[in-house]
Structure 1
Amino acid sequence: MSVTELLVVVGVDGSEPSLRAVDRASDEAALRGVPLRIVNACLWERYEGAALAHDLGEPVERALPQDLVRAAVRRAGTRHPDLKVTSEVIFEEPEYALVRESRDASALVTGTRGRGGMTEALLGSVSLTVAGHAHCPVIVVRGSHDNRARSGRHGRVVVGVGAKSTLDFAFAEATRRKVPVEAIRAWRCPAHESTDHPLPAGEPARLHEQQAVDVLEAALRDVPADAEVHRRTVEGPAGTVLAGASHHADLLVIGARRHPRHFGLQLGRVAHRVLHHSDCPVAIVPEEG
């Protein structure tokens, strides 16, 4: 089965962040021309949240998982009337269910449990686990303080330059949106090479910056000929640099290296930093270790 035939999957739990995730997933499915699958995975027969219960016009204690899924389906249909939407309630731990669902997906979309913004960022354990173990790219929706997903405001996809799979995903997303890609390579001068004397300190810094430029150019050598690319090298920790770049991005794409024999949390420090502090949705693309 080719990627173009796969689904876009979104996990919903009735919270406001999951409503934004439904909006984003609907947009992603419409852009790809594929069906949307809405999944609620939980261990309870009654729903605890308030956002979709409000949409249903029902008291929280009377809202069932089937009700919130139906409301999410209506929401997606309102946003994209021609979109094919399927749904399912799965009585299972959300992390396990969504990772399994990712096997048949071209992208999986989740929301965050935090309040949003750079200073109040908290990412839920479900999103972290799914982003670290999914079999497809995971888009974690961030960057809005209400329950509406925003369409592109900046006209740009930002990617942290890494493996080919990460770059391919970023350029495919940019092509669908008809926007340019900003490719960023962060670099740092190791502390033991620095000195208080400005002239000797400059040469090591220039060497490390040039190495970053060389890596960036090599990574972008095979990008589509018609793609619009803005290259940028920035001194600083990669997580901080990429989180800062999210201020002017509609989507931030990074890779997550997987270790097949390691069953713990798969995300490194850069991914953690970006997921907790990004000001826009973040796509985590699996990379083999």
Structure 2
Amino acid sequence: MVVEGVSITVGVDGSVESLTAAHWAAKEAEIRRLPLHVVLAMNEPVAGHSDYVFPPAVLAAARSVNRARLDRAASFLRDLHPDLDVHTDLESADPRRALVAGSKDTALTVVGCRGRGRLAEVLIGSVALHVAAHAHSPVAVVPPATDLSVDGRDRPVLLGVDGGSSGSAAIGYGFEEAAVRATRLQAVLVLDDTEPWLADEGRAPRRPTLDRALALLSEQLAPWEGKYPSVPVDQIVRRGRPAPALLECLAHGPVRDRPGLFVVGSRGRGGLAGLLLGSTSQQLIARGTVPVIVVRPEGGD
């Protein structure tokens, strides 16, 4: 299904990481036959809220620098994607708030991230975390390690299935991504190792447990398989903690069988961005080497 009358939005700031995200967003826009909206938003001092008043010439110079950054990003994308309709927007606003506000009118919001190390969940940056947690549209977070030199459409889309009713929007989006890319879908249900019957972690689930999990997975996928009959689906049950189990899919098997994209639900609750996003989504964003699309439940506030 190609959404008509909207665009894909990507946030840039002139960094290499944001240009990687913008290049990926441009490819996604081409696949979906949508225009690309490139946004650069930067804070400016607010009059009356500082003891120091920035001279108009300083503010004008800052805007000129940001306009040049935005124009370079747009030129970079137009050179790589000459047939793509690219629009730009320079905003004087907090980039987190600007991208969340703009997500009401876009099919997909794309951001880059910069996380590294053991504290990557914290270091991925407030913009990526905030937008993924609060945006009204699905959000794609593109890591710097994303390999854009190859056509990722040849690789499967991995859909993380959570076993609950809140994941329906993510399932639908996962099928749509596989359909527009003409690739197969890997639907993965992870049996959490905190359950008593998984105390013997490291072994395969006992047959009755595996059969129940596969039945649940099949039941959740069935309506969407009917809507997307051309999408081949691999139904996979793993055990362990959800994020590490999903990330393992990036390390095993032939490269062509490793996912080129993750699609997951947000699962988050509460008033803090980290809680809104959920720990599994955060870890996939922080530690993955392929883009992660986070899809909030339908009707999510």
Report the 3-state secondary structure (helix = DSSP H, G, I; strand = E; otherwise coil) of the residue aligned with 2:69. helix
Aligned twin of 1:36: 36
Q: Which moved more, 1:206-215 or 1:231-240?
A: 206-215
Q: Does 1:236 align with 2:240?
A: yes
8 Å CA contact retained: 1:257, 1:286: yes
Alpha-carbon distance in structure 1 between the residues aligned to 2:107 and 2:168: 16
Q: Is residue 144–residue 150 contact of structure 1 (8 Å, CA) maintained in 2?
A: no
Counterpart CA distance in 2 for 1:183 and 1:118 is 28
Give the residue type in structure 2 aligned to 1:230. D
Letter in 2 for 1:168: G
* 157, 167, 170: which one aligns with 1:166: 170
Q: Residue 5 of structure 1 aligns to a residue in which SS?
A: coil
Per-residue deviation at 1:273?
1.4
**Within 5 A, what are the aligned runs for 1:94-243?**
94-114=95-115, 122-142=123-143, 144=145, 150-152=150-152, 155-162=155-162, 163-190=167-194, 192-193=196-197, 205-222=206-223, 223=225, 224-243=228-247
Secondary structure (helix, strand or coil) at the match of 1:257 reads: coil
Gaps of 5+ in 1: 46-60
Structure 2 SS opposite 1:39: strand
Letter of the structure 2 residue corresponding to residue 242 of structure 1: L
Alpha-carbon separation, structure 1, partners of 2:23 and 2:141:
12
Q: Normalized against structure 1, the TM-score is what? A: 0.82
Cα root mean square deviation, aligned? 3.0
Q: Structure 2-normalised TM-score?
A: 0.79
C-alpha separation between the residues in 2 aligned to 1:4 and 1:208? 43
Find the residue that maps to 1:81 and give its secondary structure.
coil
* Alignment match, 1:55: none
Contact 2:191 2:242 (8 Å CA) reproduced: yes
Letter in 1 for 2:262: L
1:112-146 Cα distance to aligned partner (Å, 9 max, x none): 1235x999774111100000011111111025278
- Cα offset, 1:210, TM superposition: 2.8
Q: Percent identity?
A: 31
Residue 252 of structure 1 aligns with which residue? 262
Q: Name the structure 1 match of 2:272.
A: 264
1:25 aligns with 2:25: yes
The 3 A distance-change label for structure 1 pair 251 and 118 is farther
Aligned residue identity for 1:215: L
Shift of 1:183: 0.6
List per-residue Cα deviations over 1:179-208 (Å, max 9, x = no partner): 111110000354544678x9xxx9984443
Letter in 1 for 2:272: G
Q: In the aligned structure 2, how far is the partner of 1:230 from the partner of 1:173?
A: 15
Unaligned runs of 5+ residues in structure 2 are 46-61, 252-257
Q: Which string of whole-angstrom CA distances, capped at 9 and with x for unpartnered residues, describes residues 63-115 of structure 1?
A: 71100110111111112111111111111111100000111110011001235
Kept in 2: contact 1:184–1:231 (CA 8 A): yes
Q: Equivalent residue of 2:25, what SS?
A: helix
What is the aligned residue count? 266
Runs of 4+ in 1 over 3 A off after TM superposition: 117-122, 148-151, 188-196, 202-208
Distance change (3 Å), C-alpha of 1:219 and 1:81: same
* Other structure's SS at 2:267 match: strand
